[in-house]
Chains A and B, each alone.
Chain A
Amino acid sequence: MAGPGGDMQWCFSQVKGAIDDDVAEADIISTVEFNHTGELLATGDKGGRVVIFQQEIENKSLPQFRSEYNVYSTFQSHEPEFDYLKSLEIEEKINKIRWLPQKNAAQFLLSTNDKTIKLWKISERDKRPDGYNLKEEDGRYRDPNTITALRVPVLIPMDLMVEASPRRVFANAHTYHINSVSVNSDNETYLSADDLRINLWNLEITDRSFNIVDIKPANMEELTEVITAAEFHPHQCNTFVYSSSKGTIRLCDMRISALCDKHSKLFEEPENPSNRSFFSEIISSISDVKFSHNGRYMMTRDYLSVKIWDLNMENRPVETYQVHEYLRSKLCSLYENDCIFDKFECCWNGDDSVVMTGSYNNFFRMFDRGHRRDTTLEASRENGKPLQVLRPRKVCTGGKRKKDEISVDSLDFNKKILHTAWHPQDNIIAVATTNNLYIFQDKVN
């Protein structure tokens, strides 16, 4: 059965996380990100932990084993804090992880919670020094008087140890909750965005940041929109975009002025008046924005759809994909159970031909831009046999339900896929359900 990308067929590869139905809140996955080579896969959770998986290329002759990801490092990135001045607890939940391009043997990533961004260095140690003159094997000091000969200590192999250490802490720059971080293509700066402001940082400097966007009105009661996501252009170090709760995206050029309150481009699609409802504003709020790898397009995710925008055309998207249009008639219930506030992310594949996003019932959707095909797949342990091919799922919107279809009312809205990631080069995807991480790969891969 052909799927997006021609003959791509997705197979189960691995699942990480507890099998328990009873989900511990700290284990809820809050972000997923491949590094630039795809060798490392990082997840952040509500408990403030970061878990990094590494791809083990165990058996090159058998391609199906190429994408085994095993735990490489686990560390506590953020701890719960308390803001005494405002009497507010600061959650330790990791909102975003972004990898830095690799410059040396160590790996670096930025992880952020609501208020503080941290730069972590992940390095390997596989040798240890041996043969000290003044120290015994167990570390005790030797009496210098007993030493009769000198030797040069040597490095001997040891079991691989992966160490994570916080190299920079970027704190106290955000009054509101941080929703995005994005590393610039210049590899020196990065931006962090909260509800009302975007700050520009130098990776080396923690006590200072530049405010580049500020949409806070003088009178907060006049507030009409907030910033929901922001990202640097993949190649142009002067360009970034930010999306808003009103469904608009602004592209800014940092060369024009220091404060980028005035956008260079405003991307907005006029609302379809026939779709107007109580909840129009909520569902038009953009939850994620991602540039394509080639830098010519950007993708936005709102509650019901994914839109692809050409950076040269501001008045409408070039492509719109309905993720779960059958939910449009259920918006009132989704408002009551809070699901309407869910923030789904989206991602591009390596060559920008396919986009992916999550939905409910542990379904996730892929849209093949070239072949104009879309598919719905499910992340479930029932389909968890190694290399089992995922069969496409279908939601029955009304009338007679066919065999294998699931009706809208049977969907489990507690099982949501908010975070997905696509390997930068291969057809390997990481899909996060509430507390499990699924890895799927293309059968051919």
Chain B
Amino acid sequence: MEVNMEARRILAVSISKLYASRSQRGGLRLHRSLLLSLVMKSARDIYHSSREEDAPSGAQSAPEEPMETSSGPEVPEPQPLSERNSSETVSEESDNKAKDYDCDTVDDKENLSPTKQSRKRRGKASAAPDFLPNKRARLEPGEERYSAPLGSCRVGAGESLATLSLNQVIPAF
């Protein structure tokens, strides 16, 4: 339990650091962002594994499953390549943090593979655990979370997601 609390605390600290680093002069530092994401990943893994030990029921562990969308750490791309707009990414992430919550249930069809490729890039912070606001903008091609058919989701389902998942987010605390 202590490890769990430590992990949560480190996660919270990491996310606040990630936010703070956006307003740094010189822009987001890739090295720092990478290290923060590695710490967050370790803390998240420990948090989840200790929760699974504490509460072995399937209901709890299932919501956490959808979190694992990619194997590597996700890096917010602060200095974008020519095809991306960093200020858009940054502002979108911060906007979406406020209203986009993670969908914890397997039944959530609104957050499945989008019909069209979203230009939003999923940053490191969106791999945060379920008790923190999370943006799930899109899936990478080939990284489908569910075997649901394409075309079954609604793009821009932020508002309804918020109402749906807030009830699930709060018990996580």
Contacts and interface: CB of A to CB of B under 8 A. Distances in A.
Given A221-B72, A221-B122, A90 B26 contact: yes
Contact of B87 (A87, A224, A282): A87
B39 A279 contact: yes
Main secondary structure of the interface of A (DSSP, over half): loop
Contacts of B86: 86-88
Contacts of A279: 39
A131 B67 CA distance: 82
A332 B26 contact: no
Nearest to A343: B31
Contacts of B78: 88
Contact of A224 (B6, B72, B77, B122): B72
A33 interface: no
25 contacts: A88-B26, A88-B27, A88-B78, A88-B79, A89-B26, A175-B81, A176-B79, A177-B31, A195-B30, A196-B30, A220-B121, A221-B73, A221-B75, A222-B70, A223-B72, A224-B73, A228-B31, A245-B31, A245-B34, A280-B42, A281-B39, A285-B31, A285-B35, A335-B39, A341-B35
* Closest 3 pairs between A and B when the two form their complex, measured CB to CB: A91-B26, A88-B27, A281-B38
The range of chain A's interface size is: 20 to 34
Most buried by A among B6, B32, B79: B79
B43 interface: yes
A245 B37 CA distance: 13
A231 interface: no
A114 interface: yes
A341 B33 CA distance: 11
Contacts of A90: 26
A404 B87 CA distance: 53
A177 B75 contact: no
Given A114-B26, A219-B140, A278-B10, A245 B35 contact: yes
A86 B87 contact: yes
Nearest to B38: A281
B10 A223 contact: no
B25 interface: yes
Interface string B97-130: 0000000000000000000000001100000000
B93 interface: no
A225 interface: yes
Given A195-B31, A221-B73, 7 more contacts: A88-B78, A91-B26, A177-B29, A222-B70, A222-B72, A278-B43, A285-B35
Interface in A197-231: 219-226, 228
A89 B78 CA distance: 12
B79 A335 contact: no
Given A86-B86, A224-B73, A177 B26 contact: yes
Contact of A175 (B6, B38, B73, B79): B79
A86 B90 CA distance: 11
Contact of B25 (A89, A196, A223, A278): A89
A336 B43 CA distance: 14
Nearest to A276: B42
B74 A86 contact: no
Contacts of B150: none
The range of chain B's interface size is: 35 or more
Contacts of A196: 30
A338 B6 CA distance: 17
Contacts of A93: 26
B80 interface: yes
A223 B30 CA distance: 10
A245 B108 CA distance: 38
B80 A86 contact: yes
A364 B26 CA distance: 29
A278 B70 CA distance: 20
B30 A282 contact: no
B34 A226 contact: yes
B39 A282 contact: yes
A86 B72 contact: no
A141 B145 CA distance: 83
A226 B31 contact: yes
Nearest to A194: B30
Most buried by B among A177, A196, A221: A221
B38 A282 contact: yes
Nearest to B3: A278
Interface in B47-106: 70-75, 77-81, 86-87
Most buried by A among B75, B77, B81: B75
Contacts of A278: 6-7, 10, 39, 42-43, 46
A278 B79 CA distance: 27
A93 B25 CA distance: 11
Contacts of A341: 32, 35
Contact of B34 (A225, A332, A335, A338): A225
Nearest to B17: A338
Contacts of A336: 13
Nearest to B43: A278
A220 B46 contact: no
A341 B42 CA distance: 17
Nearest to B74: A221
A113 to B, nearest CB: 9
Nearest to A90: B26
A175 B93 CA distance: 22
Contacts of A86: 27, 79-80, 86-87
